[in-house]
Each structure stands twice: as C-alpha cells, then as structure tokens.
Amino acid sequence: MPPRPVRPPTQADVARRAGVTATTVSLSLRNDPRITAETQRRVRAAAAELAYKPDPVLSALVARRDSARPRRSAANIAVLVDDRWPLGTQMLWLDSMVSGLRTASLRLGYDLDLIHLRRDLGPHRQPDHLLYSRGIRGVVLLPLQNYDLVPPLDWSRYATVAIGNPPDSLPLHRVGSDAFTAAHVACERLRALGYRRLGLVNPRLAEQRLRFEWLGGIAKEHFLPGSVMEIVPPHLPETLEARGLLAWLRREAPEVVVTNEGRVFQWLKEAGIAPPKDIGLVLLNRDALESENISGFRQNLDASGEAAIDLLHSLLLRGETGFPAIPREVLIRPHWIDGDTLRRLSP
C-alpha cells in the first residue's frame, strides 16, 4: 500500500502549536493591531517550527472577499511629515499628496494619523511607543526637507513606504514622480516650438533629491543623433537667489529656462523679463504654484499618495515589515499642461 502523502501544515495546526485560535493565527500573520506583540511572536514562532506557508489562492480569495464589502479600520497608518518645510504656497504639494493618501485610506479602511517629525516625535525618547500606542502598523514617510533629520524608529516594526527619495540609510519601497520622463517630454515640447538654447535652473539639493534625473533627461540631448538642442551650462547653486539667476542669464543667454523653483517666475517679472516674449519658462512642478498659468507639469501628487497607500496595503496583508531585501519603486508619470510662458519661435 503506497504511503499516504504528507499534508502541508495549516493555520489550524499552527493554532494548536501556539495555543490560540485559527482566527488569531490569521490576524497575527497579517500584523493586526488587535493581537498583542507577544501573541504575534508566539504564532510566528509556531509557524516557523511547522514550516507553514500561506496558501496563495486562499489569500487571494480572502483579499477579494474583504475588498467587496465595507471595511473597518484594521490598522492605523502614520504619515510622517517633515515640519521644517516652509509654509505658504510651497506647501500646496503637501495638501495634494495628503488628499491622495486620505482617498486611498478611506477606500481600504485605514485611519490616517499625521505625525510631525519635529513637533510630535522630537520630544519623545522612545517614539516607537507613541506609534504603537496608536495602533500604527504602517508608515508613509513623506519627503524630507534634507536628510539631517531621519525619524529614529525601529523600522522592523512597521510596513513602510516612502514618497520621494528617502536617504540611503532608509532603503524602503518608494513612490515617486518620473522626473526623467518630465525632462524628456519638456525637451520634445520645446524642440517642436523652435527653442534651441535650453538652460536648467534648480537648487542643487532639489536635483540631488531627484537623483539628478531632471539634469540627466536634459543632458541626454547632447547625445541624440541629429539633435538641434543646445544645452547651456546649468545653474545649480547651493542656494538659489535672484542675483545669481540674473547673472547666469546674462552670461549664458538661454532661450528658455526649465526649473522646479516657482520663485524664478517672480524674479524674472521683477527684473523686467517677461515670459514668453523675452524668454520661455517651463515649471517642472506646477503643483507648488497653481496660481500662475505657467507651462509645465502637474506631478499628480494625489496619485502618488494613493499609490503609496495601495503599496502599503499589500505589505500589511503579507505581514512584511522592516527594510525589504529588494526595494520596489512605483513611478507616477507627470503630465504636460500648456500655459502662457512659451510661444512658437520663428524657424
């Protein structure tokens, strides 16, 4: 008589080994905040001893069932905000991003908790206790103004997604804008309008934050066969100021300026330089200056917020916490908006 096949362990087997119910096993393996950390550790230890592996078909069916009915919050999500960013129009991008975060959280049944790095976490010696007491199991890290303030958290406790580019010390899954594509599309639009001398203007930190993808998307024009674009030396100072910008304009004489810095438009007007009559202007991030009709890109930051929650949701369902072995990137493509700061040049 042939031997009976060995049955793979089930959640019921794990429950018996850990001394809990099968429901507790299911919730523990999904990092549900209603299950204590000690019980979750006991369940995971039992699952490891039995070499238990989730049934992917069953997991998909459960996820589909859950998505088809109204959900109560299974966990809280902390949105970590760097409160050193300047207030005013420069914070329009944050409003758009948080709007997307809220939309996706409401759809999936999560509660969002906006936590400021300096004001809320700064005074706490053990900020993980603050997050844990609020039932937080997922974290969205919003863009940092600079990298000298890294949240002092035990990242192994949380499923985490960054929006933008986190510092190298935080190798996280991330959602970001496709900056290279934006620069490439800008060059195509400008070429079609007859612009030939193009100059990039940005603070150096802004380029570093985007891994110099704007610069790369423009510099590649030098190497395209038959390219007619002339890329003047870019203006990438440590601190971008009107005086330096105007000196660069006199020296390099670009026909069009491409920038992520909305103040450039105001500085040009104050100097009596009127786009598009005197110079063309492209803004790589219209989200930060919606009051002016400048030619350029909407970065769809609300879509970035929604994508971050969707990615975080998948991590929470699989119980994935800490730094991933291979971080994933989701790039949101910006879209071009015609404005009043470009014109067709004579051929």
Q: CA 6, 12, 17: angle at the middle one, nearest 5?
A: 90
Residues 204 and 268 in one domain: yes
Distances (CA, A) of 303 to 83, 215, 256, 289: 22, 24, 29, 18
Give the range of the structural domain holding residue 96, as residue numbers without chain letter. 76-177+301-332
Residues 94-116 pLDDT 10s: 888 888 999 999 888 898 999 99
- Longest Cα–Cα distance of the chain, Å, equals 95
Residues 241 and 104 in one domain: no
Q: Could you tell me if 172 and 187 are in contact, meaning their C-beta atoms sit under 8 angstroms apart?
A: no
pLDDT given for residue 70 in this prediction:
46
Residue 346 lies in a domain: no
pLDDT given for residue 73 in this prediction:
47
Q: Could you tell me if 237 and 270 are in contact, meaning their C-beta atoms sit under 8 angstroms apart?
A: no
pLDDT given for residue 265 in this prediction:
92
Residue 136 lies in a domain: yes
For residue 256, what is the domain's CATH number?
A: 3.40.50.2300
pLDDT given for residue 311 in this prediction:
96
Residues 164 and 253 in one domain: no
Residues 148-180 pLDDT 10s: 888 889 999 999 999 999 988 999 999 999 999
Distances (CA, A) of 302 to 102, 163, 246, 309: 9, 11, 34, 11
Residue 154 lies in a domain: yes
What is the average per-residue pLDDT within 304-331? 94
What is the average per-residue pLDDT within 305-329? 94
CA torsion 331-287-338-189 (nearest 10°) is -40
Backbone angles phi, psi at 107, to 5 degrees: -65, -35
Q: What is the rounded average pLDDT for all residues in the chain? A: 86
Residues 37 and 88 in one domain: no
Prior bond of 334 cis (ω within 30°): no
Residues 90 and 108 in one domain: yes
Based on the structure, what is the number of domains in the chain? 3
Is the per-residue pLDDT at 72 higher than 70? no
CB atoms within 10 A of CB 185: 18
Distance CA 320, CA 31 (A): 9
pTM attached to this predicted model: 0.75
Q: How confident is the model at residue 225 (pLDDT cuts 50, 70, 90)?
A: confident
Q: How confident is the model at residue 71 (pLDDT cuts 50, 70, 90)?
A: very low
Residues 156 and 246 in one domain: no
pLDDT given for residue 12 in this prediction:
81
3-state class (DSSP) for residue 53: coil
pLDDT given for residue 259 in this prediction:
95
Residues 309 and 262 in one domain: no
Is the per-residue pLDDT at 235 higher than 90? yes
Distance CA 101, CA 89 (A): 20
Residue 63 lies in a domain: no
Residues 268-308 pLDDT 10s: 999 999 999 999 999 998 876 655 789 999 988 899 999 99
Residue (of 318, 320, 322) closest to 56 by Cα position: 318
Residue 68 lies in a domain: no
Is the per-residue pLDDT at 64 higher than 70? no
Please give the single-letter amino acid code of residue 133. Answer: S
3-state class (DSSP) for residue 78: strand
What is the average per-residue pLDDT within 45-72? 64
pLDDT given for residue 6 in this prediction:
60
What is the average per-residue pLDDT within 182-200? 94
Residues 91 and 121 in one domain: yes
Residues 140 and 209 in one domain: no
pLDDT given for residue 236 in this prediction:
97
Beta bridge partners of 296: 283, 337
Per-residue burial over 58-76, b if 16 or more Cβ lie within 10 Å, else e, is eeeeeeeeeeeeeeeebbb
Residues 131 and 194 in one domain: no
pLDDT given for residue 102 in this prediction:
92
Residue 284 lies in a domain: yes
Contacts 24+ apart (CB under 8 A), 45-53: 45/18, 46/14, 46/17, 46/18, 47/14, 49/17, 50/9, 50/13, 50/14, 50/17, 51/9, 52/8, 52/9, 52/10, 52/11, 52/13, 52/14, 53/8
Residue 105 lies in a domain: yes
pLDDT given for residue 38 in this prediction:
77
pLDDT given for residue 24 in this prediction:
76
3 or 205: which carries more pLDDT confidence? Answer: 205
What is the average per-residue pLDDT within 215-229? 89
Residue 70 lies in a domain: no
Residues 239 and 105 in one domain: no
Residues 161 and 208 in one domain: no
